[in-house]
A = this chain, B = another copy of it.
Amino acid sequence: MNINQLASTRSKTAAGKDSPKVKGLNRPGEVSESIKEWIAEQRKAPGDRLPQEPDLIKTFGVSKGTIREALKILETQGLVQTRTGPGGGAFITEMPAGRARALLATHFFFKDLSIGDIYELRMSLEPELAAELATRLGEPEIAVLKQTMVVYDHPPATIDEEQRQRIAELEFHERLAEFSTNKLLGFVCSFLVSLLKDLAVCRKIYSRPNPELRERGLSYQAQLIEAFQSNDAGAAASIMKAHMASAKRLMEAQEAIVTKGFLSWENHSR
């Protein structure tokens, strides 16, 4: 509970100009970093409360406004939430994966990612994921996967259903990512899927009929389920690798067609 060691990163009493730990960071930034360190050191868990504003003001030797801006940083980063009232204050929260994906997506907003870029990673990671899951997945998880597949186990009747089927195919992989015990691997895989769901080019592709993509995807995923049921990690990995290679080829072909005309990346409104 000794928060005072926190303020060690910046001693106000020192006569000369003390050097901030990280250059290019202003006061609120320093404070927010210090608070993060403190959370780690104190092994604070989500739900725990930070010291109250007056205490933080005293321990850091900064003004109320600075503390508020520091907390605003942490709040924006999804690390804390503040509440008013008695017993109120800043509470540690876990950043939801969806928010992290959204923040990350804004970073790639101007980066002009191609289908190939995305599938290069998927070809490396999804087989790894499949191999890990093959030895662990039980019937309940497999049932969830099968339930997702019923959305596209038949040819689409309308272009609208076509799109829904594409999204469902991607959600199959989202489920896999959620099942992973390696949170890092799971997050990256689900992020790649979310890119494929949201990118303008991809949405354009999904709005055109593409029977081969569905048939091949369904076939691969069915084989994958079998590999899971027989706990065959090697088979799962190689099936997934073939699945990704096939999808990459088909998607890139569609990408070429779609971008040939006029629109591609220009209308990323937000």
Task: State how many angstroms separate the Cβ of A21 from the closest Cβ of chain B.
Answer: 13
> Restricting to A102-116, which residues have a CB under 8 Å from any CB of B?
103-104, 106-111, 113, 116
A33, closest chain B residue (CB): B102
A150 CB within 8 Å of chain B: no
Contact assessment for A185 and B48 in the assembled complex, using a CB-CB cutoff below 8 Å: no
Known: A77-B103, A106-B78, A106-B95. A111 touches B47 (CB 8 A): no
Known A69-B69, A200-B40; judge A108-B270 contact (CB<8 A).
Answer: no
* In the complex, residue of chain B having the shortest beta-carbon distance to the beta carbon of A41: B200
Contact (Cβ within 8 A) A120 B113: no
Q: Which residue of B76, B107, B185, B270 contacts A73 across the interface (Cβ within 8 Å)? A: B76
Judge if A65 is at the interface, Cβ distance under 8 Å: yes
From B47, B110, B185, A117 is in contact (CB under 8 Å) with B185
Contacts of A116 in B (CB 8 A): 182
Shortest distance from the beta carbon of A27 to any chain B beta carbon, whole Å: 11
The reply to whether B109 and A95 contact each other, CB–CB distance below 8 Å, is yes
List CB contacts (< 8 Å) of A1-60 with chain B.
28, 36, 39-40, 43, 45-48
Tell me if A188 and B121 are in contact (CB < 8 A).
Answer: yes
In the bound assembly, the distance between CA atoms of A103 and B79 in angstroms comes to 10
A43 and B265 contact, Cβ closer than 8 Å, known pairs A77-B103, A100-B107: yes
Chain A contacts to B: CB under 8 angstroms: 28, 36, 39-40, 43, 45-48, 65, 68-69, 72-73, 76-79, 94-95, 97, 99-100, 103-104, 106-111, 113, 116-118, 120-121, 124-125, 128, 182-185, 187-188, 192, 200, 265, 268-270
A and B contact pairs by CB, cutoff 8 A, 12 listed: A36-B106, A43-B268, A77-B103, A95-B107, A99-B107, A104-B104, A107-B187, A116-B182, A117-B182, A121-B182, A121-B184, A188-B188
